[in-house]
Amino acid sequence: MSPQAPRGTRDILAPESARLRALVESFAAAAELAGYGQVVSPMFEQIEVFQRVGEATDIVSKEMYQFRDPGDRHLALRPELTASLARAFVQHRPPLPWKAWYEGPQFRYEKPQAGRFRQFHQVGAELFGSDDPQADVEVIALAWRFCRRLGLGELRLVVNSLGDRSDRETYRAALSDYFQRRAGELSAPGRETLRRNPLRLLDSRRPEDRAVLAGAPVIDDYWCESATEHFGAVRSGLEALGIPFERDPRLVRGLDYYRRTAFELASDALDGAQDAVGGGGRYDGLVADLGGPETPGVGFALGSDRLLLACDAEGTFPAPAAAADVFVVDTTGGAAATLVAEELRGAGIRAGRAFDGRSMKAQMKAADRSGARWALLIGPDEQDAGEVSLREMRGHGAAASAESVQRRVRRAEVAAEITRLLVAAAAEGSAP
Ligand code: HAM
């Protein structure tokens, strides 16, 4: 049996890899416009960093890739980046507010299915050092604006507030009491969730659990005054920006560090079970839990793989064109093609070529497949004359229907001539 990529992982080949990179570049531009700087942190951390995210969560208790290195350090591949950034904040103590964005692979030992992988990619942003509700609005607006820029229309923003730490704890106890009294009516997995974390029962999709949920206490009754005010200001801020949202009192999120604001972005173009393209919220206790000073924080992460699936479903954000500008067809043995192609590439021109001394016909076929606009032909005639022939390929520009035009260009002037043609073609393409 030949080896396969490990279950739940995949190779992302071109052009999809170029699309993923374009998504990251677009996110970087959006985040940097808002003053976020990139942080590149390790793919693995001491396990304690993630354990602080909440041992009651599946992400930490069941899904973490953990290992001991040869120096017997207990490490884990990062399942997310908020905890890593909080750790980096405690370690470096940058001036506040600290606004950071990131991208890269995350690792969770989940059951793989469409849109759910064991190695997946996120882009995200965190804002440390402010408990102003306007900071919550800023990060939500960043996530929203970016998704809209990708061309996603079927987006749903869902918001909730989990109250302060003590509100959340009182609510959790009240929920636990309620569910304990009706434990007999819950599904078997629902009872198991209740034992580990009653809050997580709120997003159970099982019909038995949902019936019990209908009468469960709601978080609103447990908010303290300042949490109520904070959430009111977040909602007004979103309204002022014209960002549509729904309130879902059952939105709790899968990580334990959230206080006050929690939100999720879902795509109606995706299958219901994996429709969350991103989520985030406020995590005011996290930095202190990692040994730093009390420092509030708010942020989000978006799943890049799922964003691209949503783009597929909506027919938007195609892979950037990978076509060559020029394809060098050399029937004199191939060494001349090496020289010309390198010269063109040095001038910033995308140049392809064939290998293995293929026939003229085979090389022209390859030129066609490459999507190049021009074929640059070098035969014995051209070589003797110190020239090349330039042929516009069918399907490009004026040559679309007519016989393709071919003309000679002096070998020494070929890079300058193609640059001139590219500039002219770009101007034509951008003309209104
Ligand atoms: P999360 O909700 O666990 O939050 O993940 C954010 C997004 O990552 C999800 O909405 C989803 O699109 C994507 N995602 C998660 N797991 C997978 C998977 N197995 N396969 C594919 N995509 C996946 C966080 O990670 C928090 N750190 C967000 C945050 C930042 N909160 C505050 N700041």
115-137 pLDDT, tens digit each:
999 999 999 999 999 999 999 99
How far apart (Å, rounded) are the C-alpha atoms in residues 236 and 246?
13
Q: What's the mean pLDDT when you consider all of the chain? A: 94
Which strand (E) or helix (H) includes residue 76? strand 74-77
35-81 pLDDT, tens digit each:
999 999 999 999 999 997 777 788 888 899 999 999 999 999 999 99
351 to 104, 113, 137, 383, 414: CA distances (angstroms)? 30, 39, 46, 19, 12
**Which residue's CA is minimally distant from atom 9 of ligand 1?**
278
- State the pLDDT confidence band at 404, using cuts at 50, 70 and 90: low
* Cis peptide bond prior to 97, omega within 30° of 0: yes
**3 state DSSP class of 192:** helix
Q: Which atom of ligand 1 is nearest to the CA of 255?
A: 3
Strand 374-378 versus strand 326-330 pairing type: parallel
Q: Starting from the edge strand earliest in sequence, which strands make up the sheet with 37-38, in order?
A: 37-38, 98-107, 119-128, 297-303, 276-282, 259-267, 155-161, 246-247
> CA angle, corner 168, sides to 166 and 171, nearest 5?
110
What pLDDT, on a 0 to 100 scale, did the predictor assign at position 399?
Answer: 46
Q: Which residues pair with 267 in a beta bridge?
A: 155
How far apart (Å, rounded) are the C-alpha atoms in residues 37 and 19?
22
296 to 3, 94, 128: CA distances (angstroms)? 46, 14, 6
Residue 218 predicted with pLDDT over 50: yes
136-190 pLDDT, tens digit each:
999 999 999 999 999 999 999 999 999 999 999 999 999 999 999 999 999 999 9
Question: How many angstroms separate the alpha carbon of residue 390 from the centre of ligand 1?
Answer: 51
What pLDDT, on a 0 to 100 scale, did the predictor assign at position 430?
Answer: 62
Radius of gyration of the chain (CA): 28
pTM equals: 0.93
Pocket, ligand 1, Cβ cutoff 6 A: 80-82, 108, 110, 116-117, 120, 122, 124, 126, 254-255, 276-281, 283, 299-301, 303, 305-306
Out of 20, 41, 306, give the residue to mutate to test ligand 1, the one with the largest number of ligand atoms within 8 Å of its CB: 306
DSSP assignments along 261-301, one per residue:
EEEEEEETTS-GGG-EEEEEEE-TTHHHHTTS----EEEEE
What would the two tokens of residue 248 be? 């879902």
Nearest to 280 by CA among 125, 76, 425: 125
Percent of the chain at pLDDT > 70 equals 97
What pLDDT, on a 0 to 100 scale, did the predictor assign at position 204?
Answer: 85
What pLDDT, on a 0 to 100 scale, did the predictor assign at position 342?
Answer: 98
